[in-house]
Structure 1
Amino acid sequence: MDLARHLLVDLTSPAAVVAVLRTLVAVALIVAAAAAAITLSRRALDRALSPAPGVRDYEARMSRAQTLASLLHSVVRYAVYFVALVMVLRQINVDATALLASAGIAGIAVGFGAQTLVRDSIAGFFLLLDGAIQVGDVISVGGETGRVEQITLRHTQIRRYTGELVTIPNGEITRFANLSRGFLRAVVVVTVPPDADLRRAAEILARCASAWAEDRAGWVAGPVEVDPLVEWSAAGASLRLAVPVRPAYRVEAEAELRRRVRDALAQAGVAVQALSPSAWPM
């Protein structure tokens, strides 16, 4: 009874009450500061990552910004929570060293057990940060070609031309081709009889392509290129016509060029044995 009485007296003494109130105030201030830090960081990140209205690929940039912002919000939130927890423990005279050591050991264990997850997430973060791939781009990676429909931290989804949705872990996207950046060449390979006048055929291709380029000036991204002989055999000789165009118009450009080339050669009396097939539609 004496021990309990002395303990009650100590706990209700003015000094003890002041110490408890001081601790409660400090904890409340820490919690309030943590909440304010999270709110301010969220606003700052949203403002810093959001693209300016009217920029090119606004929707794709906004989608990427939202994904990055979500990740960074989580990182900042958990970091602030951890720091606030350590500060609160110190306020109530609890040694945080053991907590830090336990967190380090847990981090190592999680790292070993989720190497693939960590690899994919880190790759996805830098993929989003760099902007090398955006939703709507047509890419070729790992033998797969398709239009990008979704990019997350863990994986990227592309849809093949035939409709299948392919999911690729971001850690596997180490080398890829983006078919939607800069320009692409609209290529038409024409096969004529081996004894045809190749110089005349090349001149017809050049005139035909130049006239088409004038009609489609908004599509064209470079000068017309004609190779008068890319392959020859007893079965036929092949000429190649190439016109740099904006990626979105490549398929339509090749289709129009094939029609014009076929008609121009037919009018000139040059037999056409084959025309190149269409490129991957975009």
Structure 2
Amino acid sequence: MSKACTNDGSFCSLLYDLLPVGSFAPLLATVITIALILVLALLVRNLAHRLIGRVVNRASTTTPIAGRFRKNGAATDGIDALLNERRKQRAETMGSVLKHIASIVIIGTAILTVLDRLTIPIAPLLTSVGILGVAIGFGAQELVKDFIAGMFMLLEDQYGVGDVVDVGAAVGTVEAVTLRVTRLRDADGRVWYVRNGTIARVGNESQGWSRAYVDVPVAYDSDVAAVRELLQRVTTELWEDPEFRESVIVEEPSVFGVEQLSDSSLVFRVSAKTLPAHQAEVARELRLRVKAALDGAGIAIAP
């Protein structure tokens, strides 16, 4: 038996006995072993991807509890749809990241095993890779910071596509979210690319629900009880309007009463809880209805 099979165990010995030319046994044994390692790595990778995909699908289809935001069934369905879409986007993004990490770990381990099988010393290679990784880490600190910030942003669901957010550098609607940058479009149509690592704080106007405020200034000598009753009637009519109750308003609007007092006017505040990013629409409708009601009652709006 060839000395080349001494360190290859019984598999090489078996090939040495079967092959007409036994000297090819070590080479063939090595080729078959490498092929088995690569096939096993691909199988494990596919299994890991399927497992991650199953977990992602389960996470993205979990039904949230939205009843605390809405009291009527139609409104609950609207919030459920928004929360489900956000959960699906976050789960799919995290699933993609986990699949890439699993591929790198499994394929990298397989490559190192193959190199070891080919009797290529991997210790110097690992040392070189480690030194190179440290050098790249120092040179790409900002990039690593962006990726880490993006990971935590997705895990904590700070914002998603379609949200109106204030990230300090820009205010606008989120059009795209990646692990490195967030793309926003402001009210003027300008597109902003903000690195995740530079975002120190986020103000999200589209999460859960929003609130519309309307201040109504009337003359100082106006009848407080009459104005409050009029505003209450306006808010009740808005709440009972199917066009708004079934689509944008979360709870019945409230009249807070006199919010500010000066020598020339009384300021009443009306509040309405709405679906995310619909507060401006509801506020405009409230102003129109309040203006019409005040004009009908002969109550002047203070300057």
**Normalised TM-score (structure 1):** 0.83
What is the deviation of 1:63? 4.4
Matches within 5 A, 1:82-97: 82-97=108-123
- The correspondence for 2:38, drawn from 19, 31, 51, is 31
Q: Secondary structure at the match of 2:189?
A: coil
Work out the CA distance in 1 between the residues paired with 2:111 and 2:195: 35
Q: Which residue of 1 aligns with 2:47?
A: 40
Greater alpha carbon shift after TM alignment, 240-249 vs 14-23: 14-23
Matches within 5 A, 1:169-180: 169-180=195-206
The match for 1:217 is 245
- Which residue, 283, 289, 298 being the options, matches 1:254? 283
Q: Which runs of 5+ in 2 are unaligned?
A: 7-15, 17-21, 64-79
Q: Structure 1 residues 266 and 250, CA, compared in 2 at 3 Å: closer, same or farther?
A: same
Deviation at 1:259, TM superposition (A): 1.0
Residues 157-213 of structure 1 deviation map (CA, whole Å, 9 limit, x = unaligned):
111122111111111334212212222122111111223223321221112112211
Indicate conservation of the 8 Å contact 2:208/2:276, yes or no.
Answer: yes
3-state SS of 1:31 partner: helix
- CA distance in 2 between counterparts of 1:181 and 1:39 reads 36
Query: What is the DSSP-based 3-state SS (H/G/I as helix, E as strand, rest coil) of the residue aligned with 2:125?
Result: helix
Residue identity matched to 2:185: R
Report the alpha carbon displacement of residue 47 of structure 1 after superposing the two structures with TM. Answer: 3.1
1:203 counterpart = 2:229 = yes
Shift of 1:126: 2.5
* Paired residues of 1:228 and 1:239 also in contact (CA < 8 A): yes
Alpha-carbon distance in 2 for matches of 1:192, 1:143: 38
Q: How far 1:70 moved relative to its partner?
A: 3.3
| Pair 159,81 (structure 1): closer, same or farther in 2 beyond 3 Å | same
Secondary structure at 1:56's aligned position in 2?
Answer: helix
Q: Could you list the per-position Cα deviations for residues 113-141 of structure 1 after superposition, in whole angstroms to 9, with x for gaps in the alignment?
A: 10110111111123223333111111222
Q: Tell me, what secondary structure is at the counterpart of 1:161?
A: coil
Distance 2:196 2:271 in 1: 34
CA contact (8 A) 2:231 2:255 kept: yes
When structure 1 is superposed on structure 2, of 162-171 and 234-243 the one drifting more is 234-243
Letter in 2 for 1:165: V
For 2:81, the equivalent position in structure 1 comes to 56
Give TM-score scaled by structure 2 length.
0.78
Which residue number corresponds to residue 236 of structure 1?
Answer: 265
Report the secondary structure of 2:120's partner residue.
Answer: coil
Q: Which residue of structure 2 lines up, in the alignment, with residue 135 of structure 1?
A: 161
The residue that corresponds to 1:4 in the other structure is none
Helix, strand or coil at the partner of 1:239? strand
State, as a whole percentage, how many aligned pairs show the same letter.
34
Match of 2:296 in 1: 267
Q: In structure 2, what is the Cα distance between the partners aligned to 1:64 and 1:108?
A: 31
Q: Kindly tell me: are residues 105 and 143 of structure 1, through their superposed partners in 2, closer, same or farther at Cα, counting changes over 3 Å?
A: closer
**CA RMSD between the two structures:** 2.7
